[in-house]
A = this chain, B = another copy of it.
């Protein structure tokens, strides 16, 4: 079979466009609704998507006045969705900065057991001082420090997931031996950030580790991805930039001693689908009218690390902005936005319009065939192994994508018509991790 596309649905209550909740058909309580998420997951599963994904941050992230802001905790919500789906992968975001490795390793191992091997972890270091202040800190740790902690966090988590061998459980009723003691081992981890004895209190799960996903694209973020990630979410506004990112990341993976085919790169796209091009463009425009520009301006100023007063709606961005090096939050997001605004010579208002929908992700506006063509173009020209689908409006956007775009790609032989594998890693064509403690002959207690 030829190389196949992969699709992830980025779940986001009424849609990724920040004004989507204001559309007449939107349920403004969808962020808290199990039923709404069940429906989205089912549509994606019916379309044979590889996975669904929930973003997260341990802080009230958006202005609650402006849009649905509270969110259900992702690992719990996905544990619920595990019951109402049977094949699709379930990827939850969780922070390495504000969790303990033992607890989080346990939750993901549990989700993997509960879902029969469909768990994935989007590993984030969590930008922002507000989150830090929910955890006893005055402000966020340095960007570099957060990634150092993330690296050791993964070391601990993978050791814990390896602390039971696959064949540890004997369940010998006759002799009263449940597990073989020498196959359940302490990890005795002593590091800079963590000391963890182990073993984990959950046996090795169907996938061994959850699928490891990553989304930061700063220098440190990409090095982390090269070392640990098996799937990478990314945001690039043009084909050329996606190609450059793709090539760069695969090179880094090879340099880290891993097989570049064992990391799938998934740029985010916002498909805006109309039966005609005009219809698609009208949908785009309607959403942009619903964004309040003053609010968006404050958000933009925050990302750029400047005072909102220095931005003017109908002028370009000021020349003099803080460098990426000065940003301790989301470094790569800032650079992306600034480059885009400068290249296309956008006013602040135009920039806001483009960010409101895709937030820096590429918007594909057009007919189903046009959207499918662009996907294929990216896929066949070294820009993507698949896509992170971020519809501006939900559930309408994913229903349209599933029923109109997916069949075209299936017909072209680019996307599965049936699930072949059982686990999330099998969907993405990735190998199950070997047990590193067994390989190393380490840690037997």
Q: Which residues of A contact B (CB under 8 A)?
A: 19, 21-24, 26, 28-29, 32, 34, 57-61, 63-73, 75-77, 79-80, 82-84, 98-100, 102-103, 106-107, 110-111, 113-114, 130, 133-137, 164, 168-169, 171, 173, 176-181, 184, 194-203, 290, 292
Whether A181 contacts B134 by the Cβ 8 Å rule is: no
Q: A29-B171, A65-B178, A99-B103 are in contact. List 5 more A-B contacts (CB 8 A).
A: A58-B102, A66-B178, A72-B114, A76-B107, A133-B197
Whether A103 contacts B98 by the Cβ 8 Å rule is: yes
Contacts of A136 in B (CB 8 A): 194-196
Majority secondary structure of chain A interface residues (helix, strand, loop or mixed): loop
In Å, the complex CA distance between A59 and B102 comes to: 9
Identify the closest chain B residue to A295 (Cβ): B176
In Å, the complex CA distance between A60 and B99 comes to: 19
Whether B114 contacts A203 by the Cβ 8 Å rule is: no
Contacts of A98 in B (CB 8 A): 100, 102-103
Chain B min CB distance to A69 (Å): 7
With contacts A103-B98, A110-B73, A199-B60 taken as known, whether A180 is within 8 angstroms of B65 at the C-beta atoms is: yes
Whether B195 contacts A21 by the Cβ 8 Å rule is: no
Checking B29, B83, B106 against A73 with a beta-carbon cut-off of 8 angstroms, the contacting residue is B106
Contacts of A57 in B (CB 8 A): 201
The 10 closest A-B pairs by CB, nearest first: A28-B171, A79-B79, A64-B179, A133-B197, A73-B110, A76-B79, A83-B83, A72-B110, A102-B134, A60-B201
With contacts A58-B102, A83-B83, A114-B77 taken as known, whether A21 is within 8 angstroms of B173 at the C-beta atoms is: yes
With contacts A135-B102, A195-B133 taken as known, whether A179 is within 8 angstroms of B76 at the C-beta atoms is: no
Please list 8 pairs of residues, one from A and one from B, whose beta carbons are closer than 8 Å in the complex, sorted by A's number: A26-B173, A64-B181, A65-B178, A70-B164, A70-B202, A73-B202, A76-B114, A134-B197
Contacts of A67 in B (CB 8 A): 178
Residue among A28, A72, A164, A198 facing the most chain B CB atoms (10 A cut-off):
A72
Chain B min CB distance to A157 (Å): 12
Checking B58, B64, B180, B194 against A106 with a beta-carbon cut-off of 8 angstroms, the contacting residue is B58
Copies per complex of this chain: 2
Whether B194 contacts A34 by the Cβ 8 Å rule is: no
With contacts A60-B200, A135-B196, A181-B65 taken as known, whether A76 is within 8 angstroms of B75 at the C-beta atoms is: yes
Whether B203 contacts A32 by the Cβ 8 Å rule is: yes
Chain B min CB distance to A359 (Å): 18
Contacts of A107 in B (CB 8 A): 73, 76
Whether B66 contacts A176 by the Cβ 8 Å rule is: yes
Residue among A61, A107, A114 facing the most chain B CB atoms (10 A cut-off):
A114
Chain B min CB distance to A445 (Å): 11
Residue among A34, A137, A198 facing the most chain B CB atoms (10 A cut-off):
A34
Checking B22, B34, B200 against A114 with a beta-carbon cut-off of 8 angstroms, the contacting residue is B34
Contacts of A79 in B (CB 8 A): 76-77, 79-80
Identify the closest chain B residue to A187 (Cβ): B134
Checking B75, B106, B176, B201 against A290 with a beta-carbon cut-off of 8 angstroms, the contacting residue is B176
In Å, the complex CA distance between A28 and B172 comes to: 9
Identify the closest chain B residue to A28 (Cβ): B171
In Å, the complex CA distance between A28 and B230 comes to: 33
Contacts of A292 in B (CB 8 A): 176
Contacts of A28 in B (CB 8 A): 169, 171, 173, 178
In Å, the complex CA distance between A292 and B174 comes to: 12
Contacts of A68 in B (CB 8 A): 178
With contacts A82-B80, A102-B135, A195-B136 taken as known, whether A177 is within 8 angstroms of B65 at the C-beta atoms is: yes
In Å, the complex CA distance between A67 and B179 comes to: 8
Identify the closest chain B residue to A188 (Cβ): B133
In Å, the complex CA distance between A180 and B57 comes to: 21
In Å, the complex CA distance between A191 and B23 comes to: 44
In Å, the complex CA distance between A181 and B176 comes to: 60
In Å, the complex CA distance between A23 and B65 comes to: 58
In Å, the complex CA distance between A113 and B100 comes to: 25
In Å, the complex CA distance between A178 and B106 comes to: 35
Contacts of A21 in B (CB 8 A): 171, 173, 178
Contacts of A201 in B (CB 8 A): 57-61, 69-71
